[in-house]
Each structure stands twice: as structure tokens, then as C-alpha cells.
Amino acid sequence: MDFDLSDEQRQLSDNLARLMKERYGFESRKAYGATALGFSEDLWRQYAELGLLGAPFAEADGGFGGGAVETMLIEEAFGRSLVLEPYLPTVVLGGGVLRHGASPPQREAMISAIAAGELRLALAHAERGSGFDLFDVATSARKDGTAWVLDGEKGLVLNGDSAQKLIVLARTAGGRREKTGLGLFVVDAAAPGVARRGYPTQDGLRAAEITLANVRVDADEVIGDPEGAGVVLERVVEDAIAALCAEAVGVMTEAMEITTEYLKTRKQFGVPIGSFQALQHRAADMTVALEQARSMMMFATMMTGEADAGERAKAISAAKVQIGRSAKFIGQQATQLHGGIAMTYEYKLGHLFKRLTMIDLAFGDADEHLKRLSERDGLFS
């Protein structure tokens, strides 16, 4: 057991920290968010140059051969600055589908383009009525000769409005909520029959509702077994949850720092409010919650590589529970310790709080994962 970073990892972190410091102040973030895309294409290029976009991919596929730890370091840094660029949709979700399910030619066709910053993906898995059930899919894919034809509506597609390619989860067989009978299809966002309605999200990012009407997909755009995508999706979402845990820890760390700084500088009754013991102890409890979350972020990162699917699922659910609970406590209490200023749009803290809230809702909230975990055989068995 070893918590030290390798030299390469430390260098990655340092470069990233420098870039964030120079280019991702809160005012810059507002400016990036105000564009039509909702993020900065220039920063996206910078990420490519730093090797972030190819980090988790095998060198053979045109990546840099990094792993879950690299993704953790990147997402944590992005969390601190509330980065808007679609790293999760493109690299973790879309890229994850390629890593876990795609054929060599498919990987060859897309991964170098992703690493170069030329291709952005979005994963269209959810639908209006699916809630937290990954396999609740009504969108249909029927065979037509060698090709497939997709029909249906996908919802809450992260950065679905700006991605060049969509990876669409559709039902090829089986009943509406079955894990089997699902396929993943690569769809060109500009393909005939694809209609996208983009919108801003509560946390200042972008998403889209996407309608698919008679969209034709060639056989070579199908990821793996057209009836076996369920297991691939599950694995990809586990990676995404681990990545979101890291982002959340970054957000919480930033919220803690801003709050601590505010407690030191804000004066009431002639003294810094950080001299009040009740507030000191609240901040201490927030520190405990943050350290517990950081530990579970590391645990989730480590366990994404676990071979036993049951142990992996328990670990990921456990991490999502801890992150969700720590995030709610820290987000709410950081707001409380600030007072009114935290309620204003110009101040960063409220945006950190909103991002934490939306991360909890992504891929199942804390209650949902606690329920899933409680139906299994225990973390220490």
C-alpha cells in the first residue's frame, strides 16, 4: 500500500495546477460559460497538449497509457476550478465505452482524435422515464439489412448539444428494464433524424434532450455485442462515478478553502468570525467529512480495477454514498458559515454548492446507492 504519486503523476498534477491557476479563475470561468458552446475550445486544446484527453487510453490506441489514478488527479483539479469543458462526457463516458467495449478499428478511428482534441463525444443513455435505472431503455434499434435504425428520445445527455458524435444506448431485444438486449451505437450528431435541444444545467454546464427518428447506423458503428452492452455500460458508469467522486472532492476542497479564508477575514462584533468556537467546530466537522470523502475517492479509484464485479459494485456504491453525504454537509454548512454572501451569483461558493448537488444526482444519489449497498452482503464480508 503506497499513497505516493509517481514522478509522472506529480508532474501531471503540477502542470494542471499551473494551467488552472493561469486560465481558470472564477471570472474566466464565467466568461467561458457565457459562450454559445458553454465552455472554452481554447482550454480544450490546452488539455490536449497537456495529454489530458488521451490520459486513460492505451498507448496502442493512441493514448498515454494512464489509469484511474490519472483520471482522479485530473478530475480533482477540474473540480476545484469548476471546469466546464466536457471531459467526463468525452473521455470518461464516451472514451470509457471505447476502452471497455469497442473493437480495435473503432478505437483506432476515434481515440487519437479524442486525444488530439478533435473529437468530442456524448453518451446518450438516460431517458425521460428511466430515473436511476441504467437499463430502463425504451429507445429502439431494429436491424435493417446489415444496418440498424434507431427511434426514440434520450434525455439529460451531458454536453449532448456540442458533441460531434453521440453514443446511444438503445434496446435491440428484451423487455423495457432488462439488462440484456441493449446495444451501444455511435451516431454522428449531424446524421439525418437526429434532433437536439440543448440547455444550461443548474450547475452552469450544458446538456441536451435528443430525439432520434429513423436514424440509420452502419453495422461497424455498433459497439461490441448489440445485445450485450449492459455490462459495458455498467463498467463505464462505475468509472464515471469514481471520476465524479474525484471531481466532488476537488469541489469540496475548494469550498473548504474559501470558507476557511472567509472565517479568517470576515469580521463581526469586532473580531474575525473564525474566532467563534461554534463556527470553528463546524469547520472541523466539515474537515472530517472532507477527509472521509477523500479516502473513499481513493478507494473507488482503486476498486475500478477490481476483477470481482460484486466487490467493485459495492465499493463504487459505498463511495457514492460517502461523497454524497459529505458533499451535502459541506455544501450546506459552507453556505451557512458564509451567510448571505454565499447566496449571491457573483460569489464562487454558491456555484460549488450547486455542482456538488448535481454530482449527487448523477448516476444515482446517495440514498439510491445506500439502498443498493444495503441489498448486498456488506463491505467487510
Partner 1 sequence: MDLSFSADEVSFREEVRSFVRDNLPAAIRDKLASGRHASKDDMVAWTRILAAKGWSVPHWPVEWGGTGWSPIKLSIFNDEIQRGHAPESLAFGTSMVGPVIHTFGSQAQKERFLPRIVDLRDWWCQGFSEPGAGSDLAGLRTSAKREGDGWVINGQKTWTTLAQYADWIFVLARTDASVKKQEGISFFLVDMKSPGIAVRPIQTIDGGHEVNEVFLDNVKIPAENIVGQENKGWDYAKFLLSNERSGIARVGVSKARLAKIRRLAALPTYGEKPKMDDPMFRMKLAAVEVELKALEMTQMRVISAIRPGEKPKPNPMSSVLKIKGSELQQATTELLMDVVGPYALPFQPEREDGERWNEPPVGPDWASTIAPTYFNTRKVSIYGGSNEIQRSIIAKAILGL
Q: Name the site residues for its own copies (rule: CB under 8 A).
A: 276-278, 280-281
Of residues 182-201, which lie at the interface with partner 1 (CB under 8 A)? 197, 199-201
| 310 binds, options its own copies, partner 1, none, Cβ within 5 to 8 A by partner type | none
Residue (64 or 299) nearer to partner 1, CB: 299
Work out whether 278 is an interface residue with partner 1 (CB under 8 A).
Answer: yes
- We find the least distance from the C-beta atom of residue 314 to its own copies, in angstroms, to be 24
Residues 113-142 that bind partner 1 (CB under 8 A): 126, 128-133, 136
**At its nearest, how many Å lie between partner 1 and the CB of residue 171?**
15
Looking at the Cβ atoms of 215 and 362, the one nearer to partner 1 is 362
Encoded amino acid at 45, one letter: R
Q: What is the smallest separation between the CB atom of 165 and partner 1, expressed in angstroms?
A: 22
- Quick one: what does residue 71 bind among partner 1, its own copies, none, with the CB cut-off 5 to 8 Å set by partner type? none
C-alpha atoms less than 13 angstroms from C-alpha of 211 in its C-beta half-sphere: 4
Residue 170 interacting entry, from its own copies, partner 1, none, C-beta within 5 to 8 Å by type: none
Q: Are 43 and 23 in contact (CB under 8 A)?
A: yes
CB 79 within 8 A of CB 243: no
What is the CA 284 to chain-centroid distance, rounded? Answer: 28
Cα separation, 77 vs 19, in Å, equals 10
31 binds partner 1 (CB under 8 A): no
200 vs 74: CA distance, rounded Å: 24
Partner that binds at residue 237, options partner 1, its own copies, none, CB closer than 5 to 8 Å by kind = none
Give the alpha-carbon dihedral of 171, 172, 176, 179, to 10 degrees: -80
Instruction: Give 278 or 307: the residue with its C-beta nearer to its own copies.
Output: 278
CB neighbour class for 27 (10 Å; exposed up to 12, middle 13-18, buried from 19):
exposed
Residue 130 interacting entry, from its own copies, partner 1, none, C-beta within 5 to 8 Å by type: partner 1
List, as one string, the DSSP characters of 68-87. Answer: HHHHHHHHHHHHHHT--S-H
Q: 369 vs 72, 134, 360, 376, CA distance in Å?
A: 20, 13, 10, 11
| Cα–Cα separations (whole angstroms), residue 191 to 84, 187, 211, 220, 291 | 26, 7, 12, 16, 46
Kindly identify the residues of this chain, within the stretch 142-171, that bind partner 1 according to CB under 8 A: 155-156
Interacting positions 325-364 with partner 1 (CB under 8 A): 332, 335-336, 339-340, 342-346, 350-351, 353-354, 357-358, 361-362
102 or 256, CB closer to partner 1? 256
Chain residues 210-239 in contact with partner 1, contact rule CB under 8 A: none
In whole angstroms, how close is the CB of 367 to its own copies at the nearest point?
Answer: 14
Q: Draw the binding track, 283-322, toward partner 1 (x: CB under 8 A; -: no contact).
A: xxx-xx--xxxxxx-xx-xx---------------x--xx
Separation between Cα atoms, residue 63 and residue 46, nearest integer Å: 16
Instruction: Report how far residue 165's alpha carbon sits from residue 90's, in angstroms, rounded to the nearest whole number.
Output: 9
